[in-house]
Amino acid sequence: MVDVDKAVVAKLKKGENHFEILVDCEKAIDFRKGKIDNLDDVLATNDIFKDVKKGEKASNLEKFFGTDDSREIAKIIIKEGEVQLTAEYKGKLRDEKKRRIVSLISRGCINPDTNAPHPPQRIESVIEEAKVKIDEFKSADEQVNDIINKIRVILPIKYEIRELAIRIPSAHAGKCYSVFRQYGKVLKEEWQNDGSLVAVIEVPAGIQEELFDKLNSIAHGEVESKILNVKG
């Protein structure tokens, strides 16, 4: 069981009735996501409360949950209800979202002055400099465009998708094909009579160099490529 002094409230409302339990914040979230299944690692007590602060226990549980088994009810409250988040856990969520956002910007954007991607460390420092607030409850994808606009006043940056035509010699075509799938969207592929592969793929501009480095390491520098189209 969890230390009661470190526990937070998880609650569920059914009509005008409130049901509350005491849980470990992070482990309750993990339980909801199916990452852990041992309820003893989550609960501070097996009691179901009407009001935790007042110490009032809930009654008529079977009427609302179809069972009076407190542990089964606790599972329902955790999975369907609201878990109070600690400041520490919110900070952890923000850090995770920031790392994801930095990765998205680094891989999808370039410096328009050099046509090269910005290093992740530079993007992270600019996010701090611009005092950008990361919302721990929104996905990174939902926030990234707004954040790009906010840091643009400090950092020259441009989001760009590139359509590339790439030719791989027959000896290396099989291995390189799997790399296409990892780095971009394959729009077209043609296997030539000599066994070579010609493909048209769409990739974020920031990872074009990384893609070519990977392909050339496999094909020993024998990759041929051309930019067909650029979309902002």
> What is the arithmetic mean of pLDDT over 74-94?
96
pLDDT of residue 150: 96
CATH class of 4-83: alpha beta
Domain residue limits, the chain:
4-83, 87-158, 160-231
Rounded to whole angstroms, how far apart are CA atoms 197 and 166? Answer: 8
Q: What is the pLDDT of residue 159?
A: 92
Q: What is the pLDDT of residue 7?
A: 97
What does the pLDDT read at residue 109? Answer: 94
Report the mean per-residue pLDDT for the chain.
95
In the predicted model, what is the mean pLDDT of residues 12-19? 95
Q: In terms of Cα–Cα distance, which of 150, 155, 149 is closest to 110?
A: 155
Displacement of CA 53 from its chain's centroid (Å): 35
Per cent of the chain over pLDDT 70 is 100
Q: With 90 as the cut, is the pLDDT of residue 232 above it?
A: no
Task: Name the E strands within the chain.
Answer: 8-14, 17-23, 49-51, 56-57, 82-83, 109-110, 158-159, 161-168, 185-191, 197-204, 224-231
CATH fold match for the domains 87-158 and 160-231: no
- What are the tens digits of pLDDT across the range 93-144? 999 999 999 999 999 999 999 989 999 999 999 999 999 999 999 999 999 9
Q: What is the CATH number of domain 160-231?
A: 3.30.70.240
What is the mean pLDDT of the segment spanning 216-228? 94
Mean pLDDT on 58-67: 95
The domain 87-158 having CATH identifier 2.170.120.12: the answer here is no
Spell out a b/e string for 55-76, using b for 16 or more CB atoms within 10 Å of the CB, else e.
Answer: eeebeebeebbeeeebeebbbb
Q: Which strands form 82-83's sheet, in the order they lie side by side?
A: 56-57, 49-51, 17-23, 8-14, 82-83
Share of residues in the chain with pLDDT > 90 (%): 96
**Mean predicted confidence (pLDDT) in 50-60:** 95
